[in-house]
Amino acid sequence: MKAVYPGTFDPMTNGHLDVIKRGLKMFDSLIIGVAINPRKKPLFSAEERIEMIKESIKDLKNVEVKSFDSLLVDFVRKEKSSIILRGLRETSDFPAEFQHAVVNRKLDSEIETVFVMTNAEYFYITSSIVKEVAAYGGEISQFVPNPVEAKLRLKFAK
């Protein structure tokens, strides 16, 4: 069984990596869907985000990274899956994630959303916090995979 793990991943964090590894324990394969949303202004281009993710997961098997600029349910169907994998950091994530799951279910009743709790050590990590700490030259190695740290350092060195 194949699952799709969607997100903007701007940038990928160790919390995302945790969800990917846990997803691989539940599913035969995983597609990381990098969302391209014209309403958001990401720090990194889709190509940069895909590259960082690929470098960060290079030792993992049965994982693909693809971008999408459509409804999530359309991307899931295109990838011949019926499962959306989502990570929950802590309880404040739940209302928005629940809302998305309900809407996706309304759009396609064959698609299920599976939630996994991120390990407690990653509850507080968000991409926004990581970008802010990196922008001020703070220590981020504990929050992101090495390839992401390197790209953040380059981005904010300019």
The reply to whether 16 belongs to the active site is yes
User: Fold for domain 2-123?
Assistant: Rossmann fold (3.40.50)
For 110-119, write each residue's pLDDT tens digit: 999 999 998 8
For 64-105, write each residue's pLDDT tens digit: 999 999 999 999 999 999 999 999 987 777 888 999 999 999
Find the catalytic residue in 81, 127, 131, 151.
Answer: 127
Contacts 24+ apart (CB under 8 A), 63-66: 63/20, 63/24, 63/29, 63/30, 63/31, 63/32, 64/29, 64/30, 64/31, 64/32, 65/31, 65/32, 65/34, 66/31, 66/32, 66/33, 66/34
pTM: 0.95
The reply to whether 70 belongs to the active site is no
Handedness of CA 45, 156, 90, 145 (dihedral sign): positive
Find the catalytic residue in 16, 49, 86, 131.
Answer: 16
Find the catalytic residue in 49, 56, 81, 89.
Answer: 89
For 3-58, write each residue's pLDDT tens digit: 999 999 999 999 999 999 999 999 999 999 999 987 888 999 999 999 999 999 99
The reply to whether 56 belongs to the active site is no
SS3 111: coil
Domain boundaries, the chain: 2-123
Find the catalytic residue in 40, 41, 58, 106.
Answer: 40
The reply to whether 153 belongs to the active site is no
| Alpha-carbon span 31 to 42, nearest angstrom | 21
Locate 27 and state its tokens.
């599913």
